Amino acid sequence: MLNRNCLLKELLAIIEDDLGVVPAGITEESNLREALGMDSVDMITVISRVEQNYRIRMSHEELAQLVTVSDILNMISAKSLEQPVAKAA
């Protein structure tokens, strides 16, 4: 599993790809809608990319809980830990 700083950089790259730019000064505490100006379509696009990149799935209830950048990072970390580790042959 990647460390939190690497996860943050990757998440910001996904957001930047979707929005075209990431506003300066974004931290883990930044609100996705207020600080980043993300609407519901942006959220779905970003979360779809996160799910693909990290091979995780989020329920609608979990998606509704994502308010800050930190919330997404926490969800990635939690979901990654839930995945079974593939055993070597």
The answer to whether residues 35 and 26 touch, using CB atoms and an 8 Å cutoff, is yes
Q: Give per-10-residue mean pLDDT for the chain (89 aa).
A: 85 91 86 91 94 93 94 92 57
**What is the per-residue pLDDT for 25?**
86
**What is the per-residue pLDDT for 87?**
47
Model pTM score: 0.84
**What is the per-residue pLDDT for 62?**
93
The answer to whether residues 29 and 70 touch, using CB atoms and an 8 Å cutoff, is yes
Dist CA 2 CA 73 (whole Å) = 11
**What is the per-residue pLDDT for 2?**
66
The answer to whether residues 26 and 48 touch, using CB atoms and an 8 Å cutoff, is no
Domains of the chain listed by start with CATH number: 4-81 (1.10.1200.10)
**What is the per-residue pLDDT for 83?**
63
Cross-strand bridge partners of residue 31:
68
Dist CA 12 CA 46 (whole Å) = 10
